[in-house]
Amino acid sequence: MTQDTSAMQTNQLQPSDKASGNDVRQRFFIEDSPVRGDVVRLSRSYASTIAQKPYPEAIKRLLGEMLTAASLLIGTVKIDGRLSIQLQSSDQDSLLNWAMAECDQNGIIRALASWKADNDEQIAAWEDMTQANEAFAELGAIGQGVLFINIQPDNGEPYQGIVERSHDNLADCLAHYQKQSAQIPTLINLASDGLQAGGVLVQMLPRTAAENIEVERNQDAGIDDDLWTRLSILTSTVKSEELTTLAASEIIYRLYNEENVVAPDPVSLEFGCTCSREKCEMAIAQIGETEALDIIEEQNGTFEMDCGFCGEVYTFDKDDVTAIFAQ
């Protein structure tokens, strides 16, 4: 993908300060067509996420792809709430236990993973891995491991979709899921270099009944039947280093500068966490007063709960626990 951006046409996306940021989701449309898409770029928000734990390099990169994917997919659903992607190993010998990444409608992202590094052999195995697909492969062979998409509206029933482990990388599994479950042809490219992450998603929405009638009658009034084929070829040319280093507007222009692209203002993305002392109190209430007090006694008078996402530590003593159960 090597296009000169020195002379842009006025009907196409123009770079702006907002769209040039490194932590954004930039939506775009192909004018007069059923095509929509998004480009996500993560830098500071991604760095803040993976700084919370000493992740092996391959897991860092996998979490970058997962954060990017969650940020892309939430743009395809109309909810006030959160969307998360979760990977779960079904093999007790897997070095990756589980991983998850989340984005909400306000662009707040976070991620977390659990892995095995209990001995020199396991530590050495992680040191030999440098790519996201190697960490993804720890789920097992194709058909093994479990992938979920969780949608949790602020008001309404949560939804969980099971993603078929149909390919050896996250992007193709998610694209396959979109095509099979929603019947929407979808292209997804993801990339992460351990420092930055990025990706692009393109979808062909269903034609309207009127458009289908026009096609059947061969009286196409401006319907471009070659558009999806053309976009598929163009999208496949994007390089990983371009997704992780170029601005969102630059990526869109380089890929689709021959199309009539329309783009609204981008959405900012940033690292954030939803943990709180109140949620910890709810967890203690589920444990039960007797067990919580026993833990405090065992730990010399305090009970600490730490958040794996952001590292925040919440400390409770006997009086705090008593107050929780006195409410």
User: What digits encode the pLDDT tens for the residues 150-169?
Assistant: 999 998 899 999 998 989 99
| 228 plus 314 within the same structural domain | no
| 166 plus 217 within the same structural domain | yes
Is the confidence at residue 208, as pLDDT, over 70? no
Beta 81-88 vs 146-153: how paired, if at all? antiparallel
Which of 225, 243, 271 lies at the terminal end of a domain, its last residue? 271
Would residue 124 count as lying in a domain? Answer: yes
Is the confidence at residue 4, as pLDDT, over 80? no
Would residue 321 count as lying in a domain? Answer: yes
Rounded-to-integer distance, Cα 203 and Cα 186, Å? 5
Cβ contacts of 73 within 8 Å, gap of 6 or more: 83, 85, 103, 149, 174, 201
Q: What is the mean pLDDT of the chain?
A: 87
Q: What is the pLDDT of residues 44-77, one digit of tens each?
A: 999 999 999 999 999 999 999 999 999 999 999 8
What is the residue range of 286's domain? 277-326
pLDDT on residue 244: 96
| 312 plus 244 within the same structural domain | no
pLDDT on residue 21: 65
3-state secondary structure the chain: CCCCCCCCCCCCCCCCCCCCCCCEEEEEEECCCCEEEEEEEECHHHHHHHCCCCCCHHHHHHHHHHHHHHHHHHHHCCCCEEEEEEEECCCCCCCEEEEEEEEECCCEEEEEEEECCCCHHHHHHHHCCCCHHHHHHHHCCCCCCEEEEEEEECCCCCEEEEECCCCCCHHHHHHHHHHHHCCCCEEEEEEECCCCEEEEEEEECCCCHHHHHHHHCCCCCCCCCCHHHHHHHHHCCCCHHHHHHCCHHHHHHHHHCCCCEECCCCEECEECCCCCHHHHHHHHHHHCHHHHHHHHHHCCCEEEEECCCCCCEEEEEHHHHHHHHHC
Would residue 136 count as lying in a domain? Answer: yes
Would residue 307 count as lying in a domain? Answer: yes
Which of 225, 250, 271 lies at the terminal end of a domain, its last residue? 271
Higher pLDDT, 286 or 100: 100
Would residue 166 count as lying in a domain? Answer: yes
pLDDT on residue 319: 87
CATH number for the domain harbouring residue 303: 3.90.1280.10
Would residue 12 count as lying in a domain? Answer: no
| 167 plus 116 within the same structural domain | yes
Which of 255, 271, 287 lies at the terminal end of a domain, its last residue? 271
Is the confidence at residue 271, as pLDDT, over 50? yes
| 295 plus 260 within the same structural domain | no
| 157 plus 299 within the same structural domain | no
* Closest CA relative to residue 66, chosen from 131, 110, 115: 110
The pTM of the full predicted model, rounded to 2 decimals, is: 0.84
* Closest CA relative to residue 25, chosen from 145, 88, 109: 109
| 44 plus 187 within the same structural domain | yes
pLDDT bin (cut points 50, 70, 90) of residue 209 is: low
CATH number for the domain harbouring residue 135: 3.55.30.10
| 267 plus 292 within the same structural domain | no
Share of the chain above pLDDT 90, in %: 59
| 159 plus 123 within the same structural domain | yes
Share of the chain above pLDDT 70, in %: 87
Rounded-to-integer distance, Cα 53 and Cα 309, Å? 9
pLDDT on residue 144: 81
| 228 plus 303 within the same structural domain | no
pLDDT mean over 115-144: 93
pLDDT mean over 7-32: 65
Is the confidence at residue 269, as pLDDT, over 80? yes
Would residue 150 count as lying in a domain? Answer: yes
Tokens coding 21: 């940021």
| 254 plus 296 within the same structural domain | no
Would residue 14 count as lying in a domain? Answer: no
pLDDT on residue 117: 94
| 257 plus 302 within the same structural domain | no
Judged by average pLDDT, the poorest of 176-185, 196-205, 233-242 is: 176-185
pLDDT bin (cut points 50, 70, 90) of residue 32 is: confident
Judged by average pLDDT, the poorest of 18-22, 38-42, 51-55, 152-156 is: 18-22
For the chain, how many structural domains are there in total? 2
